[in-house]
Amino acid sequence: MYSCSLCDVTILKPNWPTEAEVLKVLPEYDALLGKLHIDTDFLNAAGSKLKIISTPSAGYDHMNIQEIKKRGIKVGHAPKVLSGAVAETAVFLLLGAARRAHEGRLLLEQGKVENGFQWLLGHDLRNKTVGIVGLGNIGEEIVKRLKPFEIKKFFYTGHSRKKAGDDLGAEFVNLDTLLKESDFVISCVPLTPETDKMFSDDAFKKMRKTSVFVNIGRGKTVDTDALVRALKNQTIFAAGLDVTEPEPLPVGHELLKLPNAVIIPHMGSQTVETRNDMALAAAQNILNGLEGKTLLYEL
């Protein structure tokens, strides 16, 4: 137990405790800081003392926000502070996929490296068109980081044209145009009913055969079977994935067998600095709430 002037804090475990472990003690507490699946059953078991829930993540698709708010519980998350780290992840996944990093490594391990002048050629970023699906904080940071690579044009799509897009010199287009005319498609969209499986067979067929698809948003926005087909049949060139469906991918999953997919297990914000910042933002949400103020990042 730790104490500050506003509250006492109990840390259950250094990492994520189970739902049952949390619910065993939660009825005694005013606030919860943690990333847990929160639905009606969880809230019923949590009891009536709970006033604030703060997730140390930008995404909040693991919580039923409507149900939480209906009960008068304040709810906050930790966006923005992670945008730089996730944008860096998008850049390395894009570079790794475009330059066939995983395939090269596999061939190296198999003793199959060839000395050919035209062997294992990838694609430059220079002079290419990048399409950002969902120009939020992370999308903006990706554009800023990619500019020095001499990108020819940035497209973005979403609900509406944005001032941030204009400021970055990016062009607002519809999804169809973005898919058809981008060399690299980077998805930053959150999971909503609208984005659920938005990257389907149909979407991958619209993309170029030389396209690289990067996903740093949510795995469920992609129809995994369709992506496997697109990568196997070379409907698209390669993919770089921080997020997948399911998560984590089980050993032996079809995606893990593909040489043209660079995959990491949802690590976009996993740096020492960023995780500290996210923890501080999530804690500040709770301190604000206990003082009766608006949360730092209130949903």
CB 132, min distance to ligand O=CC(=O)O, A: 17
CB of 246 to ligand O=CC(=O)O, least distance (A): 15
For the chain, helix (H) and strand (E) counts, in that order, are 11, 12
Whether 265 and 215 have beta carbons less than 8 Å apart is answered as no
Options 33, 36, 42, 57; binder of ligand O=CC(=O)O; rule CB under 6 A: 57
Q: What is the C-alpha to C-alpha distance for residues 143 and 133, in angstroms, rounded to an integer?
A: 12
Give 207 or 214: the residue with its C-beta nearer to ligand O=CC(=O)O. 214
203: its two tokens: 């979407």
Pick the catalytic residue from 37, 62, 123, 266. 266
Could you tell me the smallest distance in angstroms from the CB atom of residue 151 to ligand O=CC(=O)O? 25
- Contacts with ligand O=CC(=O)O, 253-272, as mask; x by CB under 6 A: ---------------xx---
Q: Closest distance between ligand O=CC(=O)O and the C-beta of residue 264, in Å?
A: 12
* C-alpha 283: how far from chain center: 21
Asked if 266 is an active-site residue, the reply is yes
- Cβ neighbour number for residue 35 with a 10 Å cutoff: 17
Q: Given CA atoms 220, 224, 226, 230 in this order, what sign does their dihedral have?
A: positive
| Cβ 78 to ligand O=CC(=O)O shortest distance, Å | 7
CA distance 60 to 259: 32
Look up residue 106 and give its amino acid.
Answer: L
Out of 17, 34, 59, 122, the only residue in the binding site for ligand O=CC(=O)O (CB under 6 A) is 59
How far apart are alpha carbons 38 and 55 in whole angstroms? 10
Whose CB is nearest to ligand O=CC(=O)O?
A: 59
Candidates 158, 187, 156; CA nearest to 172 is 156
Query: Is there binding between residue 186 and ligand O=CC(=O)O (CB under 6 A)?
Result: no
State which residue, 34 or 104, has the beta carbon closest to ligand O=CC(=O)O.
34
Closer CB to ligand O=CC(=O)O, 58 or 261, in the complex: 58
| Chain-centroid distance, C-alpha 80 | 12
Indicate whether 82 belongs to the interface with ligand O=CC(=O)O (CB under 6 A). Answer: yes
Question: Applying CB under 6 A, does 58 fall inside the site for ligand O=CC(=O)O?
Answer: yes
The DSSP secondary structure of 73-112, one letter per residue, reads -EEE---STTHHHHHHHHHHHHHHHHTTHHHHHHHHHTT-
Active-site positions read 266
> Site residues (CB under 6 A) for ligand O=CC(=O)O?
57-59, 82, 268-269
